[in-house]
Amino acid sequence: MQAFTYFLIIYTGSALVGLSLLWFFYDRRDKRSFEANRRRKVFHCVRCGNLYSVRKGDVSFGEPCPECEYNNYELSF
């Protein structure tokens, strides 16, 4: 009886630890991919009307349009 109780505790405990590790891993991965998408800078070309985005950190000097190479500045909301 005693051995069975220990087995039950270890079995349930290891399942809980395993699920917690999986949750932790997938939560961190989702957060990272969400942050990478959120940090995109959006541009609207005033010459051709193209909408585009980049992942650069510093865009204070603008970013050229991929369609017509016109230098545009970041959209601010």
Q: State the residues that interact with Zn ion by CB under 5 A.
A: 45, 47-48, 50, 65, 67-68, 70
Instruction: Quote the tokens at residue 44.
Output: 């609207």
9 or 68: CB nearest Zn ion = 68
Neighbours of 49 (CB within 10 A): 10
Residue 39: CB minimum distance to Zn ion, A: 23
Residue 40: CB minimum distance to Zn ion, A: 18
Q: Which has the closest alpha carbon to 40: 56, 25, 29?
A: 56
Q: Which has the closest alpha carbon to 57: 40, 72, 33?
A: 40
47 or 55: CB nearest Zn ion = 47
30 or 69: CB nearest Zn ion = 69
